[in-house]
Amino acid sequence: MEDLDFRLRPRPRVAVVGAGWSGLAAAVALVERAEVSLLEAAPQVGGRARRVAADGESIDNGQHILLGAYRDTLAVITRVEGDVRKLFLRLPLELHFPGLVRLRAPRHCPAPLNVAMALACARGLDWRDKWGMLRLATALSLREPPSGMSVSSLLAAHGQTERARRFIWEPLCVAALNTQAHEASARVFARVIRDALMHGRADSDLLIPRHDLSRIFPDLALTYLEARGGVVRTRALVRGIRTTEAGVSLRLDDKTEEFDAAICALPPHAAAAILRESADAAGLCATLESYDYEPIITCYLWYPPGTRLPSPMIGLSGAIAQWAFDRGSLGGAPGLIAVVVSAAARLREATGPSLAESIDAELRREFPALPPPVRSRVITDRRATFRCTPGVSTPACRLPSGPLYFAGDHMIPGYPATLESAVRSGGSAARLLLADLLAG
Ligand SMILES: Cc1cc2nc3c(=O)[nH]c(=O)nc-3n(C[C@H](O)[C@H](O)[C@H](O)COP(=O)(O)OP(=O)(O)OC[C@H]3O[C@@H](n4cnc5c(N)ncnc54)[C@H](O)[C@@H]3O)c2cc1C
């Protein structure tokens, strides 16, 4: 009935501003029901999860990892690609700090028993570490931590040992929330742990991209959109956005353009910048401007071909970086290792070459036989994600004055900034927009 209703109306003209994963997901959800124009300021789509060129090779703006629990992301990739399996290396959850700790979830065991089994069989943790972790995991499955509590306070309140904090909880916190444990929201952390570890067995699986990030979704989404009449415009910087009597007006460099409705799929600071001329957006702008951000640094080190890590993803126990990925074993250039430094505000002053040297030295302490790297490249995203502290508030998902909707990785209440939050928010904004147009 809904579909029939839509077929009898002219297709609405809808603008999606921002072609990161949230804007792309929104456009994919809309394109069969609306005339979609996707406007992106950069020369390419993909936003914070895309390929970049490095001396003739493709690397990513930052190493990413997905989880089996990313349902909306896997669904939209399936929609544009058909088969997600070939895009990722799928591994049961594994935290491997060579020579120190190894915790691996068994492949064929239902959740949450797989977590208990992983703990029971973990190497490098004693019974006190394991018993404390089991108690905390059980507590998190039963009740939410207080809203103002930090992850460090949560770990202290539940008597976690030094090893459990250092090798399990704190690395998981920094990886999932991109925020140091003493600042991170315990409530958000608990939700992520519950979603990933306590529901389906496959939810905790790690999905490591086998290709560059643009090939995982943005390129496929572009093809999908253009095949269905969607218009994708890059180098289209939107400078202002406001609701009008007829819908939404966008101001670009040389003109204004009118649409029946729009989705603004920008990070908080960029959304606030274009909303300033909207009379009824003052409260929303205040919320958008209240976000703090955390950088993520990815250091690519090209070692001679044949250089391998013991696993595709390993934990690092030094002072700078948290994870190293063997890109060579994942389909990238042989010998290429990507090292990730999350919650990197503490390294604000560090520069590319000296940071690469320090990271190489850190890797070398773990693997003394490593040959010297041939070259390196450090990529820092200063606003990689919002800082996920207690009490971060989520902005409204539409303006009261007209059909202007919002998407982005900050738009899912109680969750950190991830690809899944971005994609889920894009789909929700598209559904809300279509429902309103249908009702109106
Ligand atoms: C280095 C790094 C590592 C990460 N690792 C992970 C990970 O392992 N797992 C995970 O799930 N998540 C990870 N994330 C987070 C994830 O990449 C983001 O949550 C997600 O990409 C955000 O998508 P988005 O669409 O909300 O925003 P964005 O990707 O920021 O998209 C917004 C788009 O809008 C465009 N734009 C801005 N202003 C304008 C304007 N005025 N007019 C037109 N266009 C405009 C921008 O150019 C951009 O393309 C990582 C992020 C970074 C940076």
Tell which of 150, 171, 204 closes a domain: 204
Ligand 1: atom nearest CA of 422 is 26
Task: Assess if residue 367 is contained within a domain.
Answer: yes
CA of 293 to the centre of ligand 1 (A): 12
Residue 113 is assigned to a structural domain of this protein: yes
Angle formed at CA 390 by CA 386 and CA 394, multiple of 5 degrees: 55
Structural domain of residue 332, as residue ranges?
A: 293-386
Whether 44 and 106 share a structural domain: no
Q: Domain boundary at 204, 237, 260, which?
A: 204
Is the same domain home to 259 and 298?
no
Looking at the domain assignment, is residue 434 inside a domain?
yes
How far is the CA of 48 from the CAs of 62, 265, 298, 382, in angstroms? 8, 12, 13, 11
Q: Answer whether residue 81 shows pLDDT above 90.
A: no
279 shares its domain with 300: no
Residue 121 lies in a domain: yes
pLDDT in tens, 172-202: 999 999 999 999 999 999 999 999 888 888 8
Is the domain of 282 the same as that of 298? no
Contact 68, 207 (CB under 8 A): yes
Residue with token string 């039963």: 142
Cβ of 418 below 6 Å from ligand 1: yes
In 379-396, which positions are buried (b, 16+ CB within 10 angstroms) versus exposed (e)? bbbebbbbbbbbebeebe
Do 365 and 297 reside in the same domain of the chain? yes
Specify if 88 maps to a domain: no
Kindly state whether residues 376 and 395 are assigned to the same domain: no
CA 428 – ligand 1 centroid, Å: 17
86: left (phi over 0), alpha (psi -120 to 50) or beta: alpha
Share of the chain above pLDDT 90, in %: 77
Ligand 1 mean position, distance from CA 298 (Å): 15
Same domain, 287 and 395: yes
Distance, in Å, from the CA atom of 286 to the CA atom of 270, rounded to the nearest integer, reads: 13
22 with 152, same domain? no
Mean predicted confidence (pLDDT) in 382-389: 97
Model confidence, pTM: 0.95
For residue 227, give the CATH number of its domain: 3.50.50.60
Report how far ligand 1's centroid is from the alpha carbon of 49 (Å): 6
Which helix H or strand E contains 242, and what residues bound it?
A: strand 240-243
Tell me the mean pLDDT in the region 67-81. Answer: 96
342 CB near ligand 1 (under 6 Å): no
Mark whether 114 and 171 lie in a shared domain.
yes
Of 204, 228, 253, the last residue of a domain is 204
Position 345 in a domain: yes
Same domain, 287 and 403: yes
- Environment class of 334 (CB within 10 Å of its CB; exposed 0-12, middle 13-18, buried 19+): middle
CATH number at residue 331: 3.90.660.10
Task: Return the residue matching tokens 């990730």.
Answer: 340
Mutate to test the pocket of ligand 1, among 419, 424, 425 (most ligand atoms within 8 A of CB): 419
Which is more confidently placed, 120 or 222? 222
Question: For residue range 224-236, what is the model confidence (pLDDT) as tens digits?
Answer: 999 999 999 999 9
Number of domains into which the chain is organized: 3
Q: Would residue 230 count as lying in a domain?
A: yes
273/411 same-domain check: yes
Cβ atoms < 10 Å from Cβ of 245: 5
Cβ count near 36 (within 10 Å): 27
Are residues 323 and 263 located together in one domain of the fold?
no
In a domain, 161, yes or no: yes
Q: pLDDT tens digits for 322-360?
A: 999 999 988 888 999 999 999 999 887 777 788 999 999
Query: From ligand 1's centre to the CA of 47, what distance in Å?
Result: 4
Over residues 372-401, the mean pLDDT reads: 94
